[in-house]
Homo-oligomer: A and B are copies of this chain.
Amino acid sequence: MHGSQEVPSGYTYGRTPRSPVSLEELRQLETAASFADLDRDALAKAGRILAPQAEALVDAWRARIAAQPHLVKWFLGPDGKPDEDYKAKVKARFVRWVKDLCERPFDQDWLDYQHEIGLRHTPAKKNLTDQAHTPPLVPLRFLLVFTAEIILVPRRYLLAAAPDEADRLHAAWTKAVLLTIALWSEPYAREGLW
């Protein structure tokens, strides 16, 4: 399914260390997010609409980031300018994340890779994958508030392509995004508080 697509640099899906979160815990999180079988179907349908727009979505999010010094600073190199090589590599993986979120089963590989993405936002692994020299962190507070943009920006595409089902598809998208963000937050949390 993904074999015909170009593999982004640093995209190690299926080849990452094991997440500390168990599949049983993941199922609890799905239930707590009210992500049910119907949402799985809705998410797949949302993916058929959003996957062709994934680069446009990331461009829209990137434009919002670029306009805010407190967001863009986490992409700057030691010279104070945006690290374009790092940005391009992260972007390609970000585009793939949109597709993966809609298309991949939430299985062990998926779980492991969400943890890897989380680590890559923290000092544990930011910059490591791309051998970059940007600040070693995307702060948790910005990850969480920017989730509003991640949730809301795709709505226009769902409305345009499937107006009668947009709410159902968008609800599934909202739940899936919060599920993945919750998994990304694990490396940020104090011992025992996650």
Contact = CB atoms under 8 A, between A and B. Distances in A.
Interface of A: 25, 28-35, 64, 68, 70-71, 122-123, 137, 139-142, 144-149, 151-152, 155, 167, 171, 174-175, 178-179, 181-183, 185-186, 188-190, 192-194
Interface residues of A: mostly helix, strand, loop or mixed? helix
Contacts of A139: 193-194
A185 to B, nearest CB: 6
Given A34-B64, A167-B155, A141 B190 contact: no
Output the residue of A139, A147, A174 with the most chain B CB within 10 A.
A147
B178 A32 contact: no
A108 to B, nearest CB: 18
B144 A182 contact: yes
Nearest to A159: B167
B189 A144 contact: no
A149 to B, nearest CB: 6
Contact of A188 (B151, B167, B193): B193
B34 A149 contact: yes
Nearest to A123: B193
Copies of this chain, whole number: 2
Contacts of A151: 151, 174, 178
Output the residue of A25, A71, A189 with the most chain B CB within 10 A.
A189
Nearest to A71: B32
Contacts of A194: 139-141, 188
A151 B148 CA distance: 10
Given A144-B144, A145-B182, A155-B167, 20 more contacts: A28-B68, A29-B142, A29-B145, A32-B68, A32-B145, A32-B146, A33-B146, A33-B149, A34-B64, A34-B149, A123-B193, A139-B193, A144-B181, A145-B179, A148-B179, A152-B171, A185-B185, A188-B189, A188-B194, A190-B190
